[in-house]
Amino acid sequence: MEYAQTVHFRSIDMTLERIKIVFDKLRPDFSNCVIIVVGGTNGKGSSVAMLESIYLKAGYTTAAFTSPHLVNFNERYRYNGEDLADNELVASFQKIDNLREGIPLTYFEYATLVAIDSLVEKKPNVIIMETGMGGRLDAVNVLDPNCVLLTHIALDHVQWLGDNREDIGYEKAGLFRSNTPAVCCDYLPPERLLAHARLISADLKLINADFNYSKNQQSWDWHCFDSNYHELRHLPPLSIPGSAQLKNAAGVLMVVQVLADRLPVDEAHIRSGLKSAVIKGRLQKLSIGNRQILLDVAHNADAVTVLDDYLSSQPTSGRTIAVLGMLADKDIAGVIKRIYSNIDQWELADLNEVRGASASQLMSELLQVNESVKYNCHNHPVAAFEAALAQATSSDRIIVFGSFHTVGNVLEHLNSGRS
Which amino acid, 385? F
Evaluate whether residue 12 is within a structural domain: no
C-alpha 15/C-alpha 13 separation (Å) is 6
Instruction: Answer yes or no: do 108 and 252 share one domain.
Output: yes
The three-point CA angle 24-91-403 to 5° equals 85
Q: Cβ contacts of residue 413 below 8 Å, gap of 6+?
A: 382, 385, 419
Question: Are 125 and 241 part of one and the same domain?
Answer: yes
* CA–CA dist 245, 183 (Å, integer): 16
Rg (the chain; Cα; Å): 21
Are residues 330 and 223 located together in one domain of the fold? no
Residue 260 domain boundaries = 17-276
Nearest one of 256, 200, 193 to 41, comparing CA atoms: 193
Provide the pLDDT for residue 24: 94
Q: How far apart are CA 107 and CA 170, in angstroms?
A: 24
Q: Are residues 208 and 307 in the same domain?
A: no
- Would you state the pLDDT for residue 301? 85
d(CA 75, CA 67): 8
Is residue 315 in a domain?
A: yes
pLDDT tens-digit profile, the chain (419 residues): 444 554 444 445 557 889 999 999 999 999 899 999 999 888 898 899 999 999 999 999 999 999 888 899 999 999 999 999 999 999 999 999 999 998 999 998 999 999 999 999 999 999 999 998 778 888 999 999 999 999 988 765 455 554 688 888 998 999 999 999 999 999 999 999 999 999 999 999 999 999 999 888 788 999 998 788 998 876 555 555 445 788 999 999 999 999 999 999 999 999 999 988 888 888 888 888 889 999 999 888 888 988 898 899 888 999 999 999 999 988 899 999 999 999 999 999 999 888 899 999 999 999 999 888 999 999 999 999 999 999 999 999 999 999 999 999 999 999 887 65
Q: Alpha-carbon distance 268 to 271, whole Å?
A: 5
> What's residue 418's pLDDT?
62
Check residue 9 and give its pLDDT: 42
25 and 79 share one domain: yes
- Domain-ending residue, one of 250, 276, 302: 276
Residue 155, in any domain of the structure: yes
- Give the residues across from 37 on adjacent strands: 129, 148
Q: Under 8 Å CB-to-CB from 146, ≥6 apart: which residues?
A: 34, 35, 36, 180, 181, 259, 262
d(CA 225, CA 72): 42
With respect to residue 395, please indicate whether it lies within any of the assigned structural domains. Answer: yes
Domain co-membership, 214 together with 296: no
Distance CA 171, CA 347 (A): 36
Tell me what pLDDT residue 155 has: 60
At residue 82, φ and ψ (nearest 5 deg) are -115, 140
Determine the Cα–Cα distance for residues 223 and 236; give it in Å rounded to an integer: 21
Report how far residue 39's alpha carbon sits from residue 47's, in angstroms, rounded to the nearest whole number. 10
65 and 214, same domain (yes or no):
yes
State how beta strands 320-324 and 345-349 pair: parallel
Domain identity same for 291 and 269: no
Same domain, 231 and 320: no
Provide the CATH number for the domain around residue 357: 3.90.190.20
Q: Are residues 229 and 326 in the same domain?
A: no
- Among 276, 306, 334, the domain-final residue is 276
**CA distance linking residue 235 with residue 43, whole number of Å:** 17
Q: How many domains does the chain have?
A: 2
What's the rounded Cα separation, in Å, for the pair 296 and 304?
A: 9
Is 370 domain-assigned?
A: yes
What CATH number is associated with residue 143? Answer: 3.40.1190.10
Based on the number of CB atoms within 10 Å of its own CB, is 415 exposed (0-12), middle (13-18) or buried (19 or more)?
Answer: exposed
107 located within any domain? yes
Peptide bond into 124 cis (omega under 30): no
Q: Tell me, yes or no, whether 54 lies in a domain.
A: yes
Query: What are the residues whose beta carbons fall under 8 Å from the beta carbon of 266, sequence distance 6 or more?
Result: 58
Same domain for 289 and 265: no
Strand order across the beta sheet in which 147-150 lies: 82-83, 77-79, 62-65, 126-130, 34-39, 147-150, 181-184, 203-206
Asked if residue 343 and residue 263 are part of one domain, the reply reads: no
Output the CA–CA distances (angstroms, integers) from residue 178 to 40, 150, 173, 205, in the order listed. 19, 16, 11, 14
Is 187 in contact with 151 (CB distance < 8 Å)? no
Residue 292 lies in a domain: yes
- Among 244, 276, 308, identify where a domain stops: 276
Torsion of CA 75, 78, 10, 153, to 10 degrees: -90
Residue 14's pLDDT is 58
